[in-house]
Chain A
C-alpha cells in the first residue's frame, strides 16, 4: 500500500490564484481530513469527511473547499489564494470516523502565497 499520498510537494502561488491540493489513500479508509501547520499553532483542522459524499467544516474552513466523490480521494481547493494561506498542508485518513482509530498522515504540501 502507498498509504496517504499528496501532490504537489511544493507550490508557489500568487495572491488570487486558485489551485487544488490532491490527497489520495489506498487503505479503504472512510474518514479523511485536511490540516494546516503553522509555527506555534500545531495542526489545525480545515475540513473533514466521514465518507464519500459527506464533508464538514473543521476549525479553520474559510477560504477552502472540499469534496469527496470517491472513498480514495479528498482534494482541497483554494479558490482565491491569500498570503495568510501560506502553510504546510497535511492530509490524513483513518479507518472510521469514530475517533477511536489512529490517523495516517500524508507527507505534506508546502504552499507559499506571494
Chain B
C-alpha cells in the first residue's frame, strides 16, 4: 500500500489571499494523481486527474501541477473566497490511496 502525504494539515487565509498545498506520492509505478474537493456533510468531488509529468490543469481559480519524477503535486487557489473553504484531498495508485487532506478555511 503506497503512502500519500499532504501538507499542511490545515490552513486559514483571508479572502483574496492566494494559497497552495502540497501532495507527495511514490514516484515509482506512477499511474495518476487525483485532486478532490470535500465540503463538510457532502461527498468528495473530483477536481483534477493528472497523468503526465509536467502536466498543469486549471479550473477557474484553482490549478494544479504535477512532477512525477520527484513525486509531488501542488494545488493552487488564486484569490481565495469563503466558498473555497473545504478539505482538499489528493490520491494516487490504481486502487486510489488518499492522503489525509488539507483543510482550508477562508475568512471574509
A101 to B92, CA, bound (A): 11
A100 interface residue, CB < 8 Å from B?
yes
Chain B residues within an 8 Å CB radius of A97: 94-95
With A42-B101, A43-B89 already in contact, the answer to whether A100 and B49 are too (CB < 8 A) is: yes
Nearest CB of B to A87, in Å: 14
| A47 nearest in chain B by CB position | B95
Q: Establish whether residues A99 and B100, one from each chain, have CB atoms under 8 Å apart when the complex forms.
A: no
Chain B residues within an 8 Å CB radius of A104: 46
With A98-B31, A108-B43 already in contact, the answer to whether A42 and B49 are too (CB < 8 A) is: no
Per-residue interface assignment for chain B, residues 76 to 102, with 1 indicating a CB less than 8 Å from any chain A CB and 0 otherwise: 000000000000010111111111110
| A4 nearest in chain B by CB position | B43
Q: Establish whether residues A102 and B89, one from each chain, have CB atoms under 8 Å apart when the complex forms.
A: no
Nearest CB of A to B91, in Å: 8
Q: Which residues from chain B sit less than 8 Å from chain A, CB to CB?
A: 1, 31-32, 34, 36, 43-46, 49, 51, 89, 91-101
Can you pick out 5 interface pairs between chain A and chain B where the beta carbons lie within 8 Å of each other? A35-B98, A45-B95, A45-B97, A97-B95, A103-B46
